[in-house]
Amino acid sequence: MSVGMEKRIELEMRGRDASKIKELNLDNCRASEFEGLTSDFCSLESLSLINIGLQSLNGFPKLPALRKLELSDNRISTGLKALQGCPKLEALSLSGNKIKDIDALEPLKELKNLKSLDLFNCEVTNVDDYREQVFKILSQITYLDGFDVDDKECEDYDEEDVEEVDGEGDDDDEEDEDDEDGDDDEVDEEDDDEEVGLDYLTKDNIDDDEEDEEDFEPGSGGLDDEDEDGEVEAEDGEDDDDEDDEDGEPEVRGQKRKLEEEDGEA
C-alpha cells in the first residue's frame, strides 16, 4: 500500500534537516497536493515525483536550487507556471501526462536555464509540426524528447569529459608500466643477490676443506695414537702373565715336598 507524500518525505529525510537535503525521491507515493514539500528544501537539486497521481502543480513550492525535476506518468494538463519558482531548472520530464496543446508550455519560457524537456507520450506530440513549434516557443532548450533541433540524440556526457577520462587512463597505464618495470628490476636484483650468496657460501665451504687438509699431518693423532695405546696394553698383558707364572711355581714345589714326606713316613 502506497503511503502519503508527507509520510514518505519523513521517511526519506531520516531525521536530516530539510535545508541540507539535495536529492529527494518520492516516486509512487499517493498525493493530491504537495503535503510536506515546502520551500524549506532550499538546497534541493533533484526531485522525482513519478506516478504519484498529480493532476495539477498548484502549490508547488519555490525551490531555488532545483536543477532536475521528474513528473512523469501523472495527470498534469496545465499549471506549469508554478515551476517559475525554480529558476535554475535545467531538465524537466513531463512524459506520460495530459498536456494536449502547445500553449500549455508557454510558462516554461521564463525558465532561462532549461536545456532538456521531455513530453514523450503526451497528446501534444501529435500536433502538426510539434517539434518545430516547441523549439520556436522555448528557444532556450537544446533537447526535446532526447533529440536536438537537428535530430541529434542527447548524450549524457560532454566530449571534454571523455578526453579527461582518456587522459587519466593513459596516465594510469604509464604508471602501471613503470610499476611493472620496477618490479622486473627488483626481481633481477634479487636474483643477483641469490647468485652472489650461493657463490659466497660455496667458496667458504671450499676454503674450509682446504684448511682441514693443511692441518692434517701424517703420523700425528688418529690411528698412530691408537697403535701406541695398543702396544702399551699388550705390554701390560705380558707382565700379568709373568706374575701368574711366578706365583704358580711355589704351589708346585709345595705339593712335591708334601708327597716326599708322606712316602718317608710310609
Helix and strand totals (H; E) in the chain: 4, 6
Classified as helix, coil or strand, 93 is strand
Judge whether 83 and 64 are in contact, CB under 8 Å. no
Q: Which of 17-21, 36-40, 261-265 has the lowest mean pLDDT?
A: 261-265
Amino acid at 241: D
| Model pTM above 0.75 | no
C-alpha R_g of the chain: 56
1-15, 41-55, 97-111, 157-171: range with lowest mean pLDDT: 157-171
Q: What is the pLDDT of residue 166?
A: 44
The answer on pLDDT for 165 being more than 90 is: no
Query: What integer is the mean pLDDT of 198-218?
Result: 50
pLDDT band at 33 (very low <50, low <70, confident <90, very high): confident
pLDDT value of residue 154: 84
